[in-house]
Amino acid sequence: MLGEIMFNDNIFDLYDEVKDDLKFYAISSVRMKVIICLFDGPKKTRQLRELTGIQSSTILHGINELEKQKVVYRDGDIYYLSEIGQILAPKLIDMVKTVVTLKKYEKLWLNHKIGDIPGELLIDIANLSNSQLIEADNTDVFKIHKNYMDSIKHAKEVKGISPFFHPDLTKTFLDILNNDVEVELILSDAVLKKTIRSFNPMNLTDFLKFRSTGNLNLWVLKEEVKIAFTVTDKFLSLGLYTNNGVYDSSKDLISEDPGAILWGNKLFEYYREKSDKIELKRLYKIISHLI
C-alpha cells in the first residue's frame, strides 16, 4: 500500500531534512511562478513580467534567490532552469494541480470510498485537474445520466467497469456496438448474469454476435469494487461509492483532457489485469445455465 511505502522510506526523517527547502519553493508565489514559466523555456525579464503580472524588481529579487539555490542561471539577459530546476519544476506543477483537483472536486472525494483507486493513480490524481464535476439536483435528477448518454454516443472505443446493473446502459452499449464501436467491459459475475437475463431473444443474438466478431470483450472481476468509470477516446467519467457503501449517482467527474483519459486507461488496465476474460465458449455456457 501507498502508506506502507511512505513509512518504509522514513518520510518524517526525510521531511525534516528538506522542510526549509519546501518552504522556500512553496511559500513564495514569485519563485513558484518564475520556475513554472521557465519550465516552458528560457525567458527574459520582460517576458516573465508579462506572463506573471509581477513587477520586474520583484521578479529579479526572486530570481536572485533561485540562482543562489542553483535552480536558475543567467546567460546574458536570458534566464534558464538549471538541471535541478528542470527536475523540480514538474513536481511543483504537479503539486499545484493536485491541490486544485482536491479543492475543486472535494464533494466527490469527501465521504466517498477512494480505496479502490490504486496508490500509483492517487499519486497521479493531478491528471484530473482539468475536469468538471456534474451534480444532479432536485430540478434535474437525470442530469448526469443524460450528460453521460450524450457523451458516449460520439466515442469510437469504450472501456469501463460497472459493479452494478443498469438496464438503460445495457441498451446504450448495444446501440453503440451497432455503430462499429469497440467496447471492453469489466463486470462482476452477478452483473454479467443479470445483464444476460435482461436480454430479449433479439438483444441476446446481437450480444453474442458482437462478442464473436471481437467488437465486444468482457472480463469478470471476482472481487467486489466500489468504483464505476468509463473511459473512451473522447472522455473519462468517474463515479464513487459513499462511505456507507451506496453508489452516489448524484455526482460524476467528467473530463475530456488527454491526461485524464490516460489516467482512466491506466485505471482500466489495472482492473483488467485482475479480471478473467470471458471467452465465447464460456459465455455460451453461462447463457445455457441462465436461459
- Yes or no: say if 224 and 188 are a contact pair by the CB < 8 Å rule: yes
Please state the CATH superfamily assignment of the domain spanning residues 106-290 in this structure.
Answer: Endonuclease Chain A (3.30.870.10)
The predicted-structure confidence for 2-16, as pLDDT tens digits, reads as follows 555 555 568 888 888
Mean pLDDT is highest, among 136-140, 169-173, 176-180, 246-250, for: 246-250
Asked whether this chain's domains 2-95 and 106-290 adopt the same fold, the reply is no
In the predicted model, what is the mean pLDDT of residues 221-250? 94
Asked whether the predicted pLDDT for residue 21 surpasses 60, the reply is yes
In the predicted model, what is the mean pLDDT of residues 156-178? 83
Domain ranges of the chain: 2-95, 106-290
User: Is 251 or 287 the better-scoring residue by pLDDT?
Assistant: 251
Would you state the pLDDT for residue 209? Answer: 81
In the predicted model, what is the mean pLDDT of residues 203-207? 79
In the predicted model, what is the mean pLDDT of residues 4-29? 78
**Which CATH number fits the domain 2-95, given the four candidates 3.20.20.120, 3.50.50.60, 3.40.50.720, 1.10.10.10?**
1.10.10.10
| Range 246-250 contact pairs with CB under 8 angstroms and sequence separation of 24 or more | 247/163, 247/164, 248/112, 249/136, 249/144, 250/135, 250/136, 250/137, 250/144
CA–centroid distance for 47 within its chain: 33
Would you state the pLDDT for residue 265? Answer: 98
In the predicted model, what is the mean pLDDT of residues 177-204? 85
This prediction has a pTM of: 0.87
The partner residues of 74 in beta bridges, in order of sequence, read 79
In the predicted model, what is the mean pLDDT of residues 198-209? 79
The predicted-structure confidence for 81-100, as pLDDT tens digits, reads as follows 999 999 999 999 999 999 99
Could you tell me the three cell numbers for 279?
471467452
